[in-house]
Structure 1
C-alpha cells in the first residue's frame, strides 16, 4: 500500500482514450453513454489464457448509483471516474460481463449498506480490466483503480476509513455483515497512486464482514497491492494473485479472517504477503507462494512478512518456493504476537537458505522465535528440495517440490515413504513414462497439488498425447480412514494397506488438477484408475478435478470419508465414478459425460453411502451394450446412495438411468430435485433391474424417487 517510489511504473504509458459516442441515459445519479466498438482478450500470462472477446456495444457510467442496477453481459461497461454504489443500492453484474476503467481515477466503490452481486461462473467469469484490455491483451499495471468494498465489520474500536478517500468510513461491530458476492471475478491491469501513501488496489476491502462471499478471484497486473484488507472479518476462497508492484496480499488494522486455497506468483513488488496492525490474525489454509524476485532487491520484504509488533498469522497445508537471495521466505520486523502464529504441514524451499530472516536483528525482530514455532509444528519442513532428477521412480522421501519449469516424468511406481511430501507448483505437468508408471501417496505422507483455473496441475502421459486412454497408470492416495472392520488394501499392490479409524485424516490437497490419458490393467481384476483413493479421510481436500480418457475407472474410492467438490469425469472405459468398501462421503457438483465404459456411477459394498449434491450425468452409450450398467448403478446388496439437485440425461436403450442389482439398503437411498430425461416410455429405461424384480431393487428405488414431488422423469 505504500512505497510509492517503488512504483515507477509509468502512468505516463496509459494511452489516451477516445470519446464515447453521443447518447446519454440517466438513472439515479448516474449517466450512461453508449459508445463505440471493442473486443477483449485477457492477459496470456501463464496464469491466465485468452478468454472470449467482450461485446462490441459499450455503455459508460459516471457518478453515484443509488438505486438497484444491473450491468448485463450483452455490452461492456466503461467506468468514467469513481462509481459509487450507495444508499443501500445493489449492483448486480451478470456472468460473462466485462467492465473497464476508463482512466487511472476510475474505480468501483461499494459503500457500507450497499451490495455488489457479481456472481460469475467458471465458464463465464466477470472481468474488470482496462479499456486497453477490451481491445486486446493488456499485460501492464495501473490503467484504472480497482474494486473497493466498505463494510460494517470494523471490530477494532478505532475508526477505520478508506485511505484513498477518508470520507468513506467502515461501520462497526457487525461481524457477519454482507457486502454481497464476488465469485468467479477477474481484476486485471488495476491499482494506481491517487496521492502519496494513497493508492487503490486490485481489490480493497475495508471493514468487510464474514457474510460477504469472496471466492474464485483472480487479480493480475496490479500497480499496487493485489488484494488489501483493512480490518473486518471477511473470508476468501480460491484466490490467485500475480504480477503486482507492491504487496500481492496485504492485511492490516485488526483483520481476522481465513483464506482457503491461495496461490501467489510474485516476480515483482515487495512482499507476497504483508501483515501489519496489532491483533491482525490472517489464517491461510491451502497455499502455494512463489517468489522469483522483487522490484528492488534492497527493499525486498520476503514471502510472508510479519511486519509490525502485535501481528499474527497462521499457515496450514502449503508451500513456499523462494528464489531470491534477498529478505527471506518468512521475514519479520519488530516483536510479532507469537501466541497468534502457527504453522502446520508447511514446506519451504529456498535457493539461498534464507527461510527465516529478521529485517534488523534478533534483538528487535521475531524470525528466530517464528522459526522455533515452525519447527515445533506438525508436518513442517524448511529443507524442501527440488529433486535433482526429473524422473520420479521408486521411494520418495523427504519434502519434494516439483516446479513448472521442469518436465517431470513418473517411471514405474513412484511412492512416498512415511512423513514424505510431494508439493507441486501451479502450472506444472507430470507425465507417466508408460503403462506401468503411476504415483502413489501412501498413508502418513501427503501431496500438495494446488493449481488454479488458469494454471492447473496436469498429470498425463510423457508425450502429453491428446485424448488416448491407458497410456500410463494414474494417481493413487492411501489414507488412514478405513472405517470398516475389514482390512482395506490397494488392489493393484496389496502391500499398500489403509490405516484405520482416523475419519478426518488428511492426505493433503488436490486443487485444480487434471488427470488425463491414464489407467491400465496391471493384472486380471487389478487396474489403476485416473484417481484412486483407498481409505482417504475427510481432512483431504479434493476440489476442481478433471479426469478425462481413463482406461478403467475415472475415479474409484474404496472406503474412507473423503469429500469431493467440482469433479468432471469423461471418456472412461469402465465406470466413470466407482465407490466401494463402506465409503461414506459427499460429492458436490459432479459432471459425468459417458459415451463409453459400463456405468456413469457404480456403487457397491455393504455400508457404502454415496451422497451427490449438484450433478449432471449424461450417458450416450457404452463400450458393450450387452454389459451396460446404466447411469446410477446400485450394484450390490446393502449399498446406499443419496442424490440431490441434479439431472440424468440417459440416451441409451441399454441398462437404465437407475439400474439395480440385488436389493440395496433402501433406508440409505434418497432423491430430491432430480430430473431424469430418458428414451422410451415408463418402465423402459428409467428404473431397471439387472435381472428381475424378485432379486433386484429398481421398483423399490422408483417408489422412493416418486415419493418426493420435486423429482421428475421426462420420456423422449
Structure 2
C-alpha cells in the first residue's frame, strides 16, 4: 500500500514539473486554447479570456492551476506545492532531511568523512535511475561519515525505486573503520571506497526502522549491490528494525567488522538473505527470512575465515525449496533459536570446512538434522514493514525445542509435523484453535506429536475449549495428537511407533507427559499406510502421572482414542462418528477410562470398543454407547479383557464379540463374567448433557429413557424425558421421579408393545407428584394404545404362586411377603396406554403384579387407555383417590386373588365401546372398594364378577349404565356385599355420588 502511495506522489511531482516547463515556454508556437498551457489572456489552463470560459470556479482540487495557485492545485491560497529534491552528489556538511519533501536519487549520494546525514521518521527516498545508471545510483556513508536513520514503527524511513523492480538501484552502503581480514583501507568492489581499520568500536551512526526495497543493481558480471552493505562497520554502530525486500542480490552483507544488528526482516532477496565474509564477528538477533519466489541462493551464506559471529533466533521459511544455510571455506557461526521450514537442503558445507565451525544450540551442526523447530521470530513484529495484517494466523511446524506457550488470540495453521521435543513443554491456553492445513504438507505428515520426555499442557475450559481441526473438514484430513510416554508396554523399552519413527515405552509407570483439559479433536485419522491410520488421540505408553479430562474426538477416519500400553487414566470422553473404533487399546494398557459416551449416527464403523493383545484388565467406569446404525458394541481380541461398570448399550446389533477364543471371564461387567446373550440395555450411565461444550448443541431439555436402571436414579423435572423402548428398574434399585416430571413415550422409536416402564420384583419406584405438579406419563402420538404404561412386579402372594411369569416381557412376580414394599406413588397421570401385547392381551395404564401392602399408592389418574385403567394381579396393596376416564376395556380390574382396598375411586365413561367400570375375576379374596362412583353417558355394564370373584363394597354410586351388576360363570351373589348386605342384581345403586369429581381437578383441568 505504501508503495502505491509513493508512486502516486511521483506522478504528481511530474505533473507539476510539466506545468512549470510549459509556463517557461509561452512564446513557442503562440498561445492556443488547446495547448494545455495557461497563456495569452487565459485565466486558467486553456480556458478564460479569449478562450472558452472556465467550467468551474477556481478550486484547490480541480486539477487545474488557477486562481493564485503556483502549481496545479497547490501554492497561493491552496496547500504548499510538494517539493522534490534530488540527493545525488556529495554531502559535505551535516544535513537533516525533511520528511515533508520527496527525495529522489538519480545517482550516488555520498556522505563524506566527518559528516552526518540525519533522516527523520517518515522520510522517503526514491531511486530514479535512468536506464543503465542503476550501478551508479546508491547511498554511501564513507569511512568516518555517519548516518542517523530515525524511523519509527508507525513512520519508517523508506528507500525504494520508482520502477519497483528488483535491481533498480544499489541500496545503502556503510564503510567503517573496524577490523576485516582485508586489512586497513581495503577497497570495496564498487566506487573504490576505502574501508577497514583497527577500531572495532567504530561508530558509523544508527539505523532504526528502515525499509530498503528493489536494490541489488549489477556492479559487474560477477557482483551486485546488496540491500544493506556493511564494510568493516564497528560495534559502536546501532542497527535495529530493518526490512530488506525484493533485492536481486543479498539482503544484507557484512564485510568483516564487529557491528551487531537486531530485528531484520528479509523477503525475496534473490541471492542470499544474509551473507558475511572477511571475518565478521558481530551478532544478528531476531532475523526472519522469507522466500516465496523461486531461484534464490540461500537464506544464509557464510564465506572466508571464521570470525564466529552469532545468530540469535533465526527463522527462515521457504515455499520454494532451496538451500537454507551454506558455509564456505572455514566460515562458521554460533547459532541459537534456529527454525527452518520448507528448504530442500538444510546445511551445505562447501570447500571442506569443518562442521564443528558451526555450533547450533550448543552442539556441532548436524547435516542430517532438519532444524524444523517452531518459529523463534514472530513475523507479526514486522507488520510495520510488510504492511500486512499479520498475527491473525501463525504457522505451526517443526520442532518445539524449548518451552512454548501459544496465544489464544492467534489462529494457528498446522503445516506438517509439530514435534514437542524431550525436555520441552508446549502450553496451549483456553480458546486456542489449531487448524491443520490439508494442502501444505499432506495428511500423513500433518500431526502434533509429544515426544518421549516432552510435555503438553492443554488448558481448555468448558467455555473455551482448545480445538484441533482441519481446513478441509473431512475425516482423515490429518493425524491428530500423538503422545509418546515412558511407561511400560508389552512392546518393551524404546519401541518404535508405526509412524514418524516415534520412540516410546520404558519402565516409569508414573511417567508424566503433561495434562489435557477440554480438548476437541476433529477430522483426524489420516492414512499412514495401506494397513494403518492415525487416531484422534494416540497414547503410546503414557504414564499415570499424565492427566487427561474432558476430551471430544469427532469425525475421525480411524479410532477416536487408542491406548498403546501405558498406565494413563482419563475421564469424560465424548466420541462421535469415528469410523473405526471409538475406543481402542492394545499392548497391555491398564489404566481407567471414566465416563465415556460413544455415539454412532453414521453407518460403516467397526466398534464402540475394541480391545486387543494381552490382558492387563483396564477399567471402564460408566460407559454409554449408542448407535442408530446397528453395528458391534464391544469386541475383544486374543486374551484382552476389561473390568466394566456402569455399562449402557443401545442400538447395536452385536453387543459382545469375542474373537480368537478369548475367555469371557476376561471381561467383568458389573461384577460378573460378560454374558454374550445379555443386551446390557441399561439407562445411560453418562449424561450427554455434560458434553455440550463439545457438541455445541442445546442439550439437557430432552433426554432418552431406555434400558435397565441398575443403580438408584433420580430424574430431573426440568428435563423432558422420551421413553424409547423398555425402561426396567432392576431389583435393589429405586427410580425416583420428582414432582412435575413428564415422561413421553416415543411411539415410533421401539414399537408400542416394547415401550413401557417396569419395576422388577425387588425394585422400587418413588413418584413424588403433587396436586400442583403431578408426574405425567403420556405419549407423543396421543392415541389410546400408544404404549404399555407402568408395570410393577412385587413379592406378595398371588394365586399363581411364587415367581410367576407375566404375560409380557418375562417379568417375574409373586412370593410370600404380603407386606412387600415396591415404593410409593402420589399424584400420577397415565395417559394413552393399553398397547397390544398379543391377539388376546393388552397392557393396562397401571399394572400391579403381586404388589404388597407396604407399597403406598394415592392420587392416580388413568386416562384414555385401550385396555384397563388399573389391574391388580393378586397382591395385598391398597390404593386411594383414583380417577379413571375412558379406558376402553375395564376401568378397574382384578384377578389372582387381590385382597387390598381401593378407596375413593371415580370412573367416567363418555365414549362408547368400553367393557365395564369394574371387572373381577378368579378366586375371591374379598378386596374392598370404599366409595366407588361410576358415571356413564354411553350405557354399558357397571360391575361384572366372573367365576368366584367378589368384593366388599361401601359407598356405591352408579349412574347411566344399562347393566348395573353382571355375574358371569355362576358365581354366588353372596360373594359381593354392598354396604354390608348381599348385592342385589336388580338394584339401581343410584345414590348420590360418594366421590366428588372435583377432587381430581389436578388431573382433569
Compute the TM-score of the two structures, normalised by the length of structure 2.
0.31
Higher relative contact order (CA 8 A, sep 6+): 1
Compute the TM-score of the two structures, normalised by the length of structure 1.
0.43
Give the number of the structure whose residues are more often strand, by fraction. 1
